[in-house]
Amino acid sequence: MKSEFTPPIGKILQISGKCISLIGNDIDTDRIIPARFLKCVNFDALGKSVFEDDRKTLKGRHPLDLEDNKNASILIVNSNFGCGSSREHAPQALMRWGIKAIIGESFAEIFYSNCIAIGIPCFTLPKKLIQDIQSYIDKKSLSLEIDLKNSLAKSKDFNFCLEIKESSRKMFLSGEWDATATLLENSKLVERKSKELPYIKFGYDF
């Protein structure tokens, strides 16, 4: 885990870093950050506990514990990554460990939107391509330079196109992935909407 952590801010146009491969389908957020670490009122200390139980089981052989992966920042995963609990603690823990982007076959929905909301782009690639990248990483080190504008990943040996939801890509390019400011801009429309909704008038009789 890196000692200094600075959260991303503003436009995210480019991410470069070393890839780390984590093989497995349906890796859930309980595994990414076990529930006992959710007993906290901020996210600061989560980085060191990411995948705690899986890492303990593998006694130093977990990808996150290998010396070679110490400075990795692009996570390569398989299908349905981040399923289960909505805990944002999961991507927060990954981010605090050092992950800046994730490339996978597919992502669970709430995990995906949590990643976008905290500035971690998640890209998808077909199953076969993910597996090829993972076996490449198994043998050689892979560093990527990801260009969000063109959804392109470049490495020393090869380049490839990445897929990302258009709405997410635009948000990273404009810096609007941190949605609060954008949502606040429509304050008047929100007020109007609240008056239009039939049930708001019923009120709650506490």
206 belongs to the binding site for other proteins (CB under 8 A): yes
Q: Least distance from C-beta 205 to other proteins, angstroms?
A: 6
Q: Which residues of 22-58 are buried (b: 16+ CB within 10 A; e: fewer)?
A: beeeebebebbbbeebeeeeebeebbebbbbebbeee
If one asks whether residue 197 binds other proteins (CB under 8 A), the answer comes out as yes
In this structure, are residues 21 and 137 in contact, taking their beta carbons and an 8 Å threshold?
yes
> CA 63, CA 81: separation in Å to the nearest integer?
16
Are β-strands 152-154 and 143-147 bridged in parallel, bridged antiparallel, or unpaired?
antiparallel
* By CB under 8 A, residue 31 contacts other proteins: yes
Mask 99-118, x = binds other proteins (CB under 8 A)?
Answer: -------xxxxx--xx--xx
Sequence-separated (6 or more) residues with CB below 8 Å from residue 119: 7, 8, 9, 12, 95, 172, 177, 178
The only residue of 83, 142, 148, 164 in contact with other proteins, by rule CB under 8 A: 83
Q: How far is the CB of 23 from other proteins (least distance, A)?
A: 9
Tell me if 13 contacts other proteins by CB under 8 A.
no
135 binds other proteins per the rule CB under 8 A: no
Q: Which residues in this chain contact other proteins in the complex, by CB under 8 A?
A: 24-26, 28, 30-31, 34-36, 38-43, 53-54, 56-57, 78-80, 83-89, 91, 106-110, 113-114, 117-118, 165-171, 174, 176, 178-180, 182-184, 186-187, 189-190, 193-194, 197-206
